[in-house]
Structure 1
Amino acid sequence: MKSVKKLFIGLALLALSLPALQSCKKYWPTENDAFNLDMNFSVTEFKPILGRNTYYTNVFNDNQSTLPLTFRVLNLRSFDGDPVPELLKLFPVRIWTKPYTGLEKSLDEIYAKTDTIMRPIWEIGKHSGAFTMWDVAGSDLIKTEPDSCYLFDVEVSNNGGRRYFRNLKLKPQVEMASEISTGFSVNILGDSTRQNINDIRYWVNRKGDGNSITFKFLDPKLKPIKLSKFNDMKTEDWKKLIHGFNMKFASDSSSVTYDVAYPIPLVPTLKTDYNDGSLASSSFLYSRTAFGGTRTTSILSLRYRIFQQGDWEIVVYFPTEAPLFKND
């Protein structure tokens, strides 16, 4: 009898405890994401050059925090704490929606791979922590060094925690619409000394607001050198001089012009027939017969970048003597 009574009491207590156990289920602690407070930015002062898309990737160390993290730029301000509406306003920027290959056959085909979206000039990737300065910014709008420029904060979070990085610096640099390297020259002899020409100068001029680029060569008297003298260049070589279209030679063979999309190169890191993986590359070739019947090839290669849309002209100037094109 006593054992039956104990069994009854035990079952009753179990019945009373079941609702309590069931109701406690929602109070079991959930497992939070890892959030390491030793996370950090490897760069805290940013100096993008205006007038071009500048990307800062791999500048954040999550220190094995659970991904994805969420990033937000906060409290953009001048160095004195004043508001900076120029950095908060949205601007139309062009982005790639399909990969650029360098094999596109027209400007329309290139533009069909892009889209225009509205973005702030300075922003951070929501889950990447990568910063972007879009090319729509210019020194007519944005403060540049030597001005003290801007400060901003970044919030980093996941459901395991939140941290603020304070007083990061943004110090934009004055835009450079173009850059040209001397490239290299091989076997370019002077027409008077028959020695290698070492003094070659390069001018890059913006002539209008269109979408074109023109190449020309000038002798010491600033007279055009006919492009027909580059006798090793066939039609296909001229077409591959740059990723451009509607190639047009001047009637006197003093220049060649292409319709192009800007910037040049469109994707600097992609090696193509027109790009060495960093800069645009355009080479001009000619050959001549030297003494003894030896055939020699001469090469002038230009390496350059142009960021601003326009009608641009690249001029190669020989200030001391013109190249020797005639056979010996």
Structure 2
Amino acid sequence: MTVRKIMICLLLVAGAASCAKYVPEDKDSLDVDARFTTIDYAPTLGRNTVYDGNFNFGNTSQPVTFEMVDLKRYDGQPAPELNADVYPVKVWKSNAETYTGKETSLEEIENKRAVEYHRIFEIRKHSGQILVWSGMDVSHLVTRPDSGYKFNVKVSNSGASKYFYNLRFRPYKPRPYEPSNYNVETGMITNPAVKPTEISGMTRQKDGLAMTAADVDIFLTKKDTGSSITFRFLDSAYNALDPALFNTTDWGQLLHGFNRQQTTGYVKYDVAYPLPLVNGFPTKYTNTSGTRANVAFSYYRLGPTGLGVSAKLRFEFAIYEKGDWELVFHFKNSSPRFTNY
């Protein structure tokens, strides 16, 4: 190779090295249109709530880190109840089989859950999902109709950071069950009872008229801190009705409960809470959307023409708070007609 060719090669190499200094570094970026699509969070306390799809990433480079900052009361006062306190909550284990609704014992269900410690109000580090956890003492939280809390969120990746300001957290007071007779804003009970979802084929003992939801009051009461549910039935004079009168009820498959105890006054099950266990996951024990447990009490008798009559009382409900709960069905205007004719 001639000296001239060697010099040309050296110049080309030097030029390439020099140009490399000016090649821009490939850094992550945050899309200018990235934003929170939900800025006002108003969950009902006492229930696990996940706000999903609440952040629009646009063309933002990922992974992205979300950090909740400056969480305080709306009037600017500190909010240690949300910033400092952590509580034990039950979560489904990531390395265990998922809940199927076919578990045969409380132990099998609990083996699929673990205890973690969380703040009541959190943001997921890489998705931006906002979470509100249940199973905690929320009596010290500021709730609606108060202005609640405000907070900012820092969103960052390896190339940039951006702050989103003045997001709101304005929770509602707990309502431990649905359907609820609690006022949404005040948390006070407005009616003594709730009504059944469906009544069919039932007639009133006193006059033979068709029974409607207006004839039945349902009272939901937490009696203790265990993990059970008890069903009771009362006639119009508040006397106990034997659950066996509902003679076509499938008591063994009524709900996802265990260790059934049945007497002339009640039927009781051990259950895992909340009911239903996984919101939005339909099983044979829930409504079609999986949002509520679905129980049906039925019986068969002969009607006045000698034809068979199938009667049913159905109730869709959810209970979010662990405890020993009682559901009392009071036939307030007349007892149902269970006998033939």
Normalising to structure 2: TM-score of the pair? 0.88
- Structure 1: distance between partners of 2:293 and 2:240: 24
2:339 corresponds to 1:326: yes
User: In the TM superposition, what is the alpha-carbon distance from 1:112 to its structure 2 partner?
Assistant: 0.3
Aligned pairs for 1:252-267 (under 5 A) are 253-267=264-278
Tell me how many residue pairs correspond in the alignment.
318
Partner of 2:171: 172
Q: Unaligned stretches of 5+ in structure 2?
A: 180-194
Partner of 2:197, secondary structure, is: strand
Aligned pairs for 1:44-59 (under 5 A) are 44-59=39-54
| Amino acid in the other structure paired with 1:215 | F
- Structure 1: distance between partners of 2:18 and 2:257: 71
Partner of 2:139, secondary structure, is: coil
2:256 corresponds to 1:243: yes
- Structure 2: distance between partners of 1:220 and 1:130: 49
- Structure 2: distance between partners of 1:136 and 1:248: 27
Partner of 1:115, secondary structure, is: strand
Partner of 1:200: 216
2:227 corresponds to 1:232: no
Q: Which moved more, 1:203-212 or 1:127-136?
A: 127-136
Aligned pairs for 1:116-195 (under 5 A) are 116-180=115-179, 182-195=196-209
Partner of 1:211: 227
Partner of 2:313: 300
CA contact (8 A) 2:135 2:321 kept: no
CA contact (8 A) 2:151 2:167 kept: yes
Partner of 1:270: 281
CA contact (8 A) 1:268 1:275 kept: no
Partner of 2:196, secondary structure, is: strand
Q: Unaligned stretches of 5+ in structure 1?
A: none
User: In the TM superposition, what is the alpha-carbon distance from 1:139 to its structure 2 partner?
Assistant: 3.4
User: In the TM superposition, what is the alpha-carbon distance from 1:34 to its structure 2 partner?
Assistant: 4.8
User: In the TM superposition, what is the alpha-carbon distance from 1:194 to its structure 2 partner?
Assistant: 0.8
Partner of 2:65: 70
Tell me the C-alpha RMSD between the 2 structures. 2.0
Give deviations 1:156-197, integer Å, cap 9, x for gaps: 222343221101000111101112362101011001111112
2:91 corresponds to 1:92: no
Give deviations 1:227-260, integer Å, cap 9, x for gaps: 1111112xxx21211111000012xx11000001
Structure number with greater Rg is 1
Aligned pairs for 1:38-49 (under 5 A) are 38-49=33-44
Normalising to structure 1: TM-score of the pair? 0.91
| Amino acid in the other structure paired with 1:205 | T
| Amino acid in the other structure paired with 1:91 | Y
CA contact (8 A) 2:28 2:61 kept: yes
Partner of 1:293, secondary structure, is: coil
Quick one: percent identity of the two aligned structures? Answer: 36
Partner of 2:184: none
